[in-house]
Structure 1
């Protein structure tokens, strides 16, 4: 995707870690995060992403396609969740958790 508008965020609820695709906006000088897509629990999200990568044409959500995301973005997300580091080298919260 040309100039990605979103980034992965994580939320821990009742001992489970959930993955979201989020966009940051500034409104009157205040930062506001908007959730673009909910991937679900970390373990399920990773399995779902593997399935999407294996059959991208049929399984990748139309909602994400409409936002301009493609196979390369999906591959980056999977790599980030597996390694615990973002594409730009920042350590993610998943680096602290054994999947």
Structure 2
């Protein structure tokens, strides 16, 4: 199961797609970042473009089993600030 994660660095918020992997050797993290969407505002704009032109959706995400349904959920999460499971996620505002 893949989910969105955010990391703040140098005053900017970056969005990643993570997957739960349990314990990892040499690490206490229980997730692995599998895709970087980049800076949050640009990530939302890029996702909206992919929704309009799904042919531009990255093959890497398709290989992970992600599709239009997941893309719509990610956009909704970024715009509303609430994930599909109800946890809070920092809201992003972008024009597109």
Q: TM-score, normalised by structure 2?
A: 0.87
State how many pairs are aligned: 91
In structure 2, runs of 5+ residues without a counterpart are none
Q: Which residue of structure 2 lines up, in the alignment, with residue 60 of structure 1?
A: 57
Asked whether the equivalents of residues 24 and 31 of structure 1 are also in contact (C-alpha less than 8 Å), the reply is no
Partner secondary structure for residue 13 of structure 2: strand
Asked whether the equivalents of residues 79 and 93 of structure 2 are also in contact (C-alpha less than 8 Å), the reply is no
> Which one of 55, 76, 80 corresponds to residue 79 of structure 1?
76
**Aligned residues: CA RMSD:** 1.7
Give the drift of 1:32: 2.1
Q: TM-score, normalised by structure 1?
A: 0.84
Q: Tell me whether 1:46 sits opposite 2:44 in the alignment.
A: yes
Asked whether the equivalents of residues 6 and 13 of structure 2 are also in contact (C-alpha less than 8 Å), the reply is yes
More strand by share: 1
Could you list the runs of 4 or more consecutive aligned residues of structure 1 that deviate by over 6 angstroms after TM superposition? none
Q: Deviations over 1:60-80 (max 9, x none)?
A: 000000111110100000000
In structure 1, runs of 5+ residues without a counterpart are none
